[in-house]
Chain A
Amino acid sequence: MPARTDIERVMVIGSGPIIIGQAAEFDYAGTQACQALKSEGYKVILVNSNPATIMTDSNMADRVYIEPLQIDVIQNIMIEERVDALLATLGGQTGLNFAMELSENGFLEKHNIKLLGTTAEGIFRGEDREAFRAAMMKINEPCIPSGTAGSVEECLQMADKIGYPVIVRPAFTLGGTGGGIAADEKSLREFAASGLAASRVHQVLIERSIAGWKEIEFEAVRDAAGNAITICSMENLDPVGVHTGDSIVIAPAQTLHDLEYQKLRSSALKIVNELGIVGGCNVQFAQHPTTAEYAVIEVNPRLSRSSALASKATGYPIAKVASKIAAGYTLDEIPNAVTGTTSACFEPAIDYIVMKIPKWPFDKFVKARRTLGTQMKATGEIMAIGSTVEAALLKAIRSLELGLQGLHLPALAQLNDEMLWLKICTADDTRLFSLAEGLRRGFSIDEIYDRTMIDKFFLCKIDNIVNTEQKLLLSKGNCDFELINNAMKMGFNNSWIAQLSGLDREEIVRLRAANNQTQTYKMVDTCAGEYDAITPYFYSTTDINNEAKRTERKKVLVIGSGPIRIGQGIEFDYCSVHSVWALRELGYEAIIANNNPETVSTDFDTSDRLYFEPLTADDVEAIIANEKPDGCICQFGGQTAIKLIKKISDLGVPILGTSADMVDAAEDRKRFDEILEVCGIDRPAGTTVTSTEEALAAASDLGYPVLVRPSYVLGGQGMAIVHNDEDMIEYMRIINMVEQEHPILVDKYLMGVELEVDAVSDGENILIPGIMEHLERAGVHSGDSISIFPAYIPDRVRDTIVEYTSRIAKEMNIIGLINIQFILFNDKIYIIEVNPRSSRTVPYISKVTGIPIVNLATRIMLGAKLVDFSYGTGLFARYPAVYAIKAPVFSFEKLHDVDTNLGPEMKSTGEVLGLSTTYSEAMYKAILASGFRFPAAGAGVLMTVADNDKSDLVPLAEKLSAMGYELYGTGGTANYLNKHGIPCSSVRKMEENSPNVVDLIDQGRVKLLINTESPHGQLGGLNGFKLRRRAIEHGVATITSLDTLVAVTECLQRKLNPQDLKTWEISKFAEIVKQTRHNCLPLNELPLDNVMLKK
């Protein structure tokens, strides 16, 4: 069947901001979908609120809307764009939910919009728990048996029916008190009794326990004609119980014999046939470790994180194929782009091992509970490819950028055996290292298996690594080449072998070269070498034959940004990809090195050559040795790439763009101060310290409050605002628990307005697309602030910023991008940070101004000058007649124990954009898109603010009260407001007797919590923290800065609602920016309430 001709205009719904559980994989899927649909001649209309994505580039779809993902907004766009088809299975759960809503509310039918791919009914039967069980029953596929019981006898009967062991869960009880796993009748009697007693309705759920079963996933694709294939099987290292997004995954499945494998594969195909999947689908199974029993856990009738992984693991472009299937093709009609000669209707054969390890944010959220369970906590993931399990595992460890080369986490050595066993038996982020440490101490594989049910296959492989590590340690420099060779083949890199064996690293390099065992590269070709492939997608092994033969073309290596983590998100992938595209336009062979399977950059046809490798000095050195590139670009891969710049420069590879030396100067306090002095620019006074005594002295000199932070960090890690000696002593105690390589910076904290620019510099001129202003006062990390473009500042200040940026760019000889953050304090401009690289704001400002910033920067690195382009120099857009407001998005619901209070350390995982010609509408859109739930008029608002915020709260509280909100406040706050004539009911604090604030929240009487604290950074008070967590867990919107409240109040006052919002096609929006870019004064509605005006 050829592509369908009854449709013309297809809408693709993206997945919105990056949150835990929904990350860059949908940018990859959506980008492929847009490209596939466009290539078929359809007009593609894209909606996504996330400006940091590639899919929202104006050239990705025919019409791009960066708008809040709200049903009304989507419907309006559909009508305006005369959309006649919807593809919703590539935008994650978000996209799928909208498709279901649009189908259920009759909108699709009313407007004759066809749902492409799987039908709404199919999606429903895959998603709805009961409907799914019924479907499985119909085709005789086993689900996990369960039932409810109201008495002990009923429990016993139920258990006899479904088989021991069973889990007993009391109904309607939070936290599962009274439940447990019963292995036999005797223990079931006990659990049943206690469970029934604990349940408010005297009822328990009895479910077959599958603890210890293997968790296996299959990624399936089916076309409308009924051809169905599985792309890849994946096996979790951890048994059932850890969310698949938090699991270490190996692909293909390794421990299933053919009977088991085929049974699950057949089951997956039966299921996709029954649901009528047209496109991709993920099926999760639990397989009993020793018997034939298995159970279907769930399906995702859409593209998912696992399908992105399966795509990258096999080279099979699932999203592209799924899109073509949605457009009407059958699998056999779609060519296999990797081989070029065969069709997409086959199952990839894999001749390597793939390992995925999640990247968790616990380095940022030191207080968060690190145990893993059914709630996903990882922000991103890495994938590693090796020719053995050991090699894939070691590469994966290196890719995580934990500062570790192997399975050796030094901190674990301090644990006694008992504590270590406890760690081994707990699923947490460091379990892999605990297992290795246990094996190192001689814990037996049998016992570890018995206690963890982690398949012995994996334990044996970890043991192999540990044994090799021990042999190298014991060799004490006297190791023969065979030992080195074995270690190498197992995936140990030169540095790690050197460190363990005591040999000189250079000696190892020499030995390897002498024995003709250098790093070689193999191709990922979807067919295990059976057919000739044309895809330059490589991973390293240690062999003789090298498939990544160097070409004679001029070539540039772009270093990617690794896994998505807080502070280094999808925006750097956006930049890397644009750089690669620019290089290809210029005729260079663009080579990318990266290890994030979720991204566009690691798609096999993004670059000319893709190296799926860890981004460590050793691994990058090997790539360079193989490719001998003419230049290397490190500006776009975030801190990951910047960290490698010196090493790469030392290897003699020309660094394209700003030099390694100047990158160092920006980080080195002393050198940076000298640069500022030459430029005549001030920065907040400050100094460096190494001890608590010095820190106290420095603070006394500068005067509190001061900002303290370690040097060389990302995303404000370990940064705090300190107000007194006591807090300073505590801060230094905490920070010195980890040995500090570099001194601690102590700066005077200026509570002014933060301004930010991204500039392109060619060494002579600069181009600043626009100046952004942060809504929240300095002290909230720039990544967590609402960012407003254009900044509302006098022209005089604007010119100063341009001038300062120009001076710094020249002095540092910036070639490419620079990001600078300023503070406007008491009418004076200070500089607070310079990043000689791309930044988080580049994609957003690029899109709204229409300036292809990364493309220009890449061209400039290769010799072009700003005057060669049509964008001019200096400031491009002064005060255009539009507002583009970027709001941060957090994942607090997913991470218990994380304080929602904003401070200098970044906490947000993603961002959204609000576009409008008016300030208030742009702000409303941004806040709405960020997932903030505006309280309805009349709702309760709980206020408890710090003393120094109380006077600022008065006018805001007055407005809220006037709008009919019912105000509650804790003692001080309520008194203060009452004194100023604002009605506010006084509520007892958390530490006081009930009824208090906790009851108020638990009873659902407040919909908004306003809670500020005198900024203590990480040292904040415990009760405030508990209150904020309570609010998050009850779905109460929380604001921790009055600046944010100003914006929210403004939105509430305007009584805006989603269906009335004007939507903007992004290139039209950019056109207005261009036309009005020379405006100097605010011509539109003024953000009168903005607090900064008062200063």
Chain B
Amino acid sequence: MRAFLILEDGTVFSGEHFGANRDAVCEIVFNTGLTGYLELLTDASYAGQAIVMSSPVIGNYGVFVEHGEADRPWAEALIVRDLTHLVHDPRSAEDLDDYLTRHDIPGLKGVDTRQLTLRLREHGTMNGKITTNENFDKEEVIAEIRAWRNDHPVVRVSRKTAAVYPAGAIGRVYRNEDVNDELVRELPSEAMKPLGYKVDESITRRFKVAMLDFGLKQNIVWNLTRRGCEVTVYPWNTPMSEILAAKPDGVMLSNGPGDPMDCADILPGIRELHDSGVPTFAICLGHQLMALATGAKTTRLKYGHRGINHPVQDLATGRVYITSQNHGYVVIDESIDLSLSDVSHRHLNDNSIEGLKYKNGTVKTVQYHPEGAPGPLDSDYLFDEFMKMMEV
């Protein structure tokens, strides 16, 4: 079936529909990554966004739900050049088309995704509508698109109740790998059913970490539990006093979708965390919120950083790491209170802030994703550093 993408500047791309048969109005963003479409789809930071894959052939290895960053896709839609269908997959992976249909996510294929990427790069991120209605009224649609706003998506994607992951929990288990069923534990949660994991009993509990969930990528949790952390994940708006009262060894602020200023209400709590002396590590939206809480400002990037090939320089050592990124907002350089923090990492291409180190010695934050998923694992040393911070 023919389907269309209409952008707010009036550009129309046509292709074929796949996945769920419904219209979608959302922000349109492109990702240049070569692998990991499932991880992208299930990354809650994409809530309210349709992902345009620059990599042209998608769906090649199907879907292993256990590799997801959540148990459901959060992206609004998927736009690809070419979609691969599976034929009796030897690993019993699910077909991507089926997976999206099952989760009510529409897809658009056969699109000149390179041209769409160039359009978004030149114009900046735009809203758009995906529809199978051939007789759409362009003016009407554009009005609808323009009126749409990705309104405080954190509320939608964050957990509603707290959950605990034991130290030694190993996630992203390979299909066909020996997963001891007895060890896959079900955890109660409304918004997010648990992803299967196994527990490595040889890993003992070293730290208790509290995680604020703004749209948490599950692999951040797995990175902690693998290092011997017991992780308690809290809804995004849990009062900081309540979290600190549980006396965690460290606190993490997760990634998440949308404009960080949507979360303005909780900034005082985050400032409280900054001042508390509890070792804190923050990723992506968490990084932005800590900056806002300490007086800095954020702004929207023209078309964001979304991909798995972004070079980030650690200013302390000069070393460059290839990182996984997904952010549309960025901390403004001039707005930083230099009495509170220093820039620790910068993007090699546009020199934007990629990491902050706070002078109180207990807070480190990065804009990019050391947990990869998808993307390089080059920066997972940052988790080790977090462990060291908690050791002190």
Contact = CB atoms under 8 A, between A and B. Distances in A.
B141 to A, nearest CB: 20
B320 A256 contact: no
B259 interface: no
A470 B258 CA distance: 49
A827 interface: no
Given A229-B322, A292-B177, A543-B112, A349 B348 contact: no
Interface string B297-326: 000000000011111010000111010000
B54 A528 contact: yes
A802 interface: no
Given A351-B56, A528-B117, A530-B121, A332 B377 contact: no
Contacts of B85: 460
A262 interface: yes
A346 B309 contact: yes
Nearest to B304: A530
A343 B307 CA distance: 16
A258 B55 contact: no
Interface string B72-110: 000000000110111111110000000000000000001
Interface string A827-856: 000000000000000000000000000000
B112 A545 contact: yes
Interface stretch (B33-41, B194-202, B382-390): B33-41
A262 B309 CA distance: 12
B82 A349 contact: no
B55 A528 contact: yes
B56 A388 contact: yes
Contact of B86 (A265, A292, A343, A456): A456
Given A258-B374, A387-B82, A349 B57 contact: no
Which of B33, B82, B308, B377 is the most central at the interface, judged by chain A CB atoms within 10 Å of its CB?
A: B82
B307 A530 contact: yes
B129 interface: no
Contacts of A229: 322
A292 B174 contact: yes
A817 B175 CA distance: 63
Interface residues of B, number: 58
A351 B38 CA distance: 18
Interface in B121-142: 121
Contacts of A331: 320
A261 B90 contact: no
A32 B108 CA distance: 42
Given A387-B82, A457-B60, A527-B32, A342 B349 contact: yes
B348 A256 contact: no
Contacts of B319: 225-227
A1088 to B, nearest CB: 66
Interface residues of A, number: 58
A120 interface: no
Interface in B22-56: 30, 32-36, 38-39, 54-56
A1049 to B, nearest CB: 60
A257 interface: yes
B7 to A, nearest CB: 14
Contacts of A489: 110
A347 B322 contact: yes
B67 interface: yes
B84 A460 contact: yes
Contacts of B121: 529-532
A893 to B, nearest CB: 38
Contacts of B86: 456
Contacts of B309: 346-349
A69 to B, nearest CB: 37
A387 B172 CA distance: 31
Contacts of B90: 289-290, 449, 456
Given A262-B374, A346-B311, A387 B56 contact: yes
Nearest to A453: B90
Contacts of B339: none
Nearest to B309: A347
B86 to A, nearest CB: 7
B320 A332 contact: yes
Contacts of A352: 56, 114
A258 B54 contact: no
Contacts of A289: 90
Contact of B91 (A290, A346, A545): A290
A296 interface: no
Given A227-B319, A254-B60, A290-B176, A387 B81 contact: yes
A350 interface: yes
A220 to B, nearest CB: 11
Contacts of B373: 258
19 contacts: A254-B60, A255-B61, A257-B36, A257-B67, A269-B378, A290-B91, A292-B176, A347-B309, A349-B307, A351-B117, A353-B57, A387-B114, A449-B90, A456-B86, A456-B90, A459-B87, A528-B114, A530-B32, A530-B307
Given A528-B32, A529-B32, A529-B121, 9 more contacts: A225-B319, A229-B322, A252-B55, A257-B36, A258-B374, A262-B377, A343-B349, A347-B308, A349-B54
Interface of A: 225-227, 229, 233, 252, 254-259, 261-262, 265-266, 269, 289-292, 330-332, 341-343, 345-353, 387-389, 445-446, 449, 456-457, 459-460, 489, 522, 527-532, 541, 543-545
Interface of B: 30, 32-36, 38-39, 54-57, 60-61, 64, 67, 81-82, 84-91, 110, 112-115, 117-118, 121, 172, 174-177, 307-311, 313, 318-320, 322, 348-349, 372-378
